Amino acid sequence: MENNRKVVIVGAGFVGTSLAYSLLNQGTVDELVLIDINKEKTIGEEMDLSDGLPYSPHKMNIKAGDYNECKNADIVVITAGLNQKPNQSRLELAVENTKIMKDITYNVMKNGFKGIFIIATNPVDLMSYVVLKTSGISKSRVIGSGTVLDTARLRYLIAEYLEVSSKNVHAYILGEHGDSSLVPWEHCYIGCKKMIDIMEENNFPMEDLEKIHNKVWNAAYEIIEKKKATYYGIGMALNRLIRAILNDENAILTISTYQEGEYNQSGMYIGVPAIINRNGVKDILKLKLNKKDQEKFNHSCEIMKENIEKEINPLLD
């Protein structure tokens, strides 16, 4: 990875190109390849991005390519798939995007890919499961973007509420990247102080915590209603995840990863805090959840299991 950091993005839509633009601006990689079914658009994106290279902080090679470029890639990011429509839940996308995920994963793997998958296509927890089962590679090398964007939204809103820097907000959203997510407020810190203690000491209404979570929950729907899609935030979030891998950071990020007994759940992808390095998921951080939060987490996992059993596994047979 140190000699030539290569990332392939499958899907040159809003999310894929926002990620590409973020990688260009931050100089994250040495080689960037875009793959899309619309090859003319992909060439246009390559040309447009390359025009910015003289002002990029790092030399990069950007090109429109095909699946043979995956052979020596460090990371393949999948952003392709149907977009979420207004008032449509992420889970409703599952069946159609499963077919797309299977095809993409097959084409990546048949070209000798040995790196790490990052999945951003919704519903991301289910699509990560599809890629794991289709690829046959280690669970540590298939990472869903999970609640990394939800967590960023949460930290931003908490920072606004308390008038502190978002960089000093240590809070996480767990569970589905969707409607059944939860915030374990007992594990939310501002600097080194519990947010619950700050709320109590300042006589802030505890109901405000639920209002903050609701704003996070509604954010995607509101953005989609106003501008048809969300892409800048997830583009930045994916860039952060890529940097954690390429720089071997052992960074803690709330990604979607496969559960094998952690949090008393197994057999599905779900959003939890995990340590990320050059090998993918090094370890899952196991928070001690209170009874109420554990029940919420279990509910989120049960939704995933039900969809896997009814919608996903029949398409994988």
Render pLDDT for 131-169 as a digit per residue (tens, 0 to 9): 999 999 999 999 999 999 999 999 999 999 999 999 999
Q: Which residue has the higher pLDDT, 66 or 83?
A: 66
Q: Would residue 14 count as lying in a domain?
A: yes
Residue 1 has pLDDT above 70, yes or no: no
Q: Would residue 255 count as lying in a domain?
A: yes
Residues 71 and 91 reside in one and the same domain: yes
Question: 198 near 317, Cβ under 8 Å?
Answer: no
Q: Would residue 51 count as lying in a domain?
A: yes
Structure tokens at 147: 């609640």
Structure tokens at 259: 């559960």
Q: Which positions are annotated as active-site residues?
A: 177
pLDDT at 251: 98
pLDDT at 93: 77
Parallel, antiparallel or unpaired: strands 169-170 and 189-190:
antiparallel
Q: For residue 117, give the H/E element and its range.
A: strand 116-119
Q: Would residue 1 count as lying in a domain?
A: no
Residues 201 and 269 reside in one and the same domain: yes
Q: How many domains does the chain have?
A: 2
Residues 6+ apart with CB under 8 A from 250: 275, 276, 277, 282
What distances in angstroms separate CA 186 from CA 34, 173, 182, 232, 288, one per listed residue? 42, 12, 12, 30, 9
Question: What is the pTM for the complete model shown?
Answer: 0.95
Residues 6+ apart with CB under 8 A from 199: 205, 206, 208, 209
Residues 155 and 271 reside in one and the same domain: yes
User: Which pLDDT band holds residue 90 (cuts at 50, 70, 90)?
Assistant: low
Last residue within a domain, chosen from 125, 144, 163: 144
Residues 14 and 129 reside in one and the same domain: yes
Share of the chain above pLDDT 70, in %: 97
Tell me the average pLDDT across 112-140.
97
Question: What's the chain's average pLDDT?
Answer: 95
Residues 290 and 197 reside in one and the same domain: yes
Residue 58 has pLDDT above 70, yes or no: yes
Residues 53 and 130 reside in one and the same domain: yes
Residues 230 and 278 reside in one and the same domain: yes
Tell me the average pLDDT across 116-122.
96
Helix axes of 207-227 and 148-162: crossing angle, nearest 10 degrees:
120
Residue 88 has pLDDT above 80, yes or no: no
**Nearest partner of 143 among 217, 76, 229, judged by Cα:** 76
Residues 161 and 302 reside in one and the same domain: yes
187-197: per-residue pLDDT in tens? 999 999 999 99
Tell me the average pLDDT across 53-74.
96
CATH number of residue 46's parent domain: 3.40.50.720
CA dist 234 and 165 (Å) reads: 20
pLDDT at 94: 87
Residues 135 and 208 reside in one and the same domain: no
User: Which pLDDT band holds residue 64 (cuts at 50, 70, 90)?
Assistant: very high
18-34: per-residue pLDDT in tens? 999 999 999 999 999 99
Residues 35 and 123 reside in one and the same domain: yes
Last residue within a domain, chosen from 90, 120, 144: 144
Residues 140 and 156 reside in one and the same domain: no
Residues 81 and 171 reside in one and the same domain: no
Tell me the average pLDDT across 268-293.
97
Domain of 53, in residue numbers: 6-144
**Nearest partner of 126 among 177, 78, 181, 75, judged by Cα:** 177
Question: 22 near 77, Cβ under 8 Å?
Answer: no
**Nearest partner of 120 among 28, 24, 229, judged by Cα:** 229
